[in-house]
Amino acid sequence: MSIDTVTRLEGGKELKERTVDAIRHTFEAAGIEFINDERGEGVVKLKPTP
């Protein structure tokens, strides 16, 4: 992933769907869980390590 892509992500800019999917998959593989709270807002939490 390029630095420009990370900059766009951090700046809240629009990214290609496949890029977002790749980022999400990478984070999930590292133990980060994406959930929605009761207000429908995105939340992340770290999964406990065994």
Identity (one letter) of the amino acid at 13?
Answer: K
Q: Which residue's structure tokens are 């980022």? A: 23
Q: What is the pLDDT of residue 47?
A: 80
Q: What is the pLDDT of residue 49?
A: 75
Q: What is the pLDDT of residue 12?
A: 92
SS3 42: strand
Which pLDDT tens digit goes with each residue over 1-50?
899 998 999 999 999 999 999 998 998 998 899 888 778 777 888 887 77
Q: What is the pLDDT of residue 19?
A: 94
Length of the chain: 50
CA distance 48 to 5: 29
Task: For the chain, give the mean pLDDT.
Answer: 88
Burial 11-31 (b: 16+ CB within 10 A, else e): eeeeeeeeeeeeeeeeeeeee
Q: What is the pLDDT of residue 13?
A: 94
Give the pair of three-digit tokens for residue 20.
Answer: 């977002």
